[in-house]
Amino acid sequence: MEDDGLSLPEELLSCGSGMGNEYRCRKKNLLAVAAAAERDGIALGGWKVQFRTSDGECELCWESFYPEEMKENETWPDFVGRSWEEARQKWQQLFENEKLIEGGRRIFRLIQATEEGDVLPRDALWFILYFRSSTQEKQDHSHNIPSEISV
């Protein structure tokens, strides 16, 4: 899968699914995907979270994250590391948030149905990830265009 010069490693592609221009992965694969992208020098542009089952999707638009932009004196490798570290911290907060699951149980029938089918709501969590490459960063700074893309 390539887009604007961003080539994702096979290890990363095998853990997720592409729908349109979005890269999605399950909660259980999230840390492996992060490690593979970080190892290949791919920064995180941001993420969203959703509950997803065979019956449908419930995007939690209030649960998203976009790392702070690259700092003036920050190197690309430093930015890559920081973007993923900030994401891991946010994921930990999200995973510890029992109110998220409780709210989902009350609001979304989709989540209620997963529990009836012996699928825990946490197992139905998927993350939509947006990646950034150093090539995109250089192009975007030369044109003052936001560099976030989705793959």
CATH number for the domain spanning 83: value is 3.30.190
In this prediction, residue 1 carries a pLDDT of 41
pLDDT tens for 3-28 read 445 666 676 667 776 654 467 888 88
Task: Show the CA angle centred on residue 10, arms to residues 9 and 16, nearest 5°.
Answer: 100
pLDDT tens for 85-140 read 999 999 888 888 877 767 666 666 656 665 555 656 666 778 888 888 887 665 55
Burial class of residue 86, CB neighbours in 10 A (0-12, 13-18, 19+): middle
137 domain-assigned: yes
Question: How many domains would you assign to the chain?
Answer: 1
Parent domain of 91: 2-7+21-143
In this prediction, residue 88 carries a pLDDT of 94
15 domain-assigned: no
pTM: 0.73
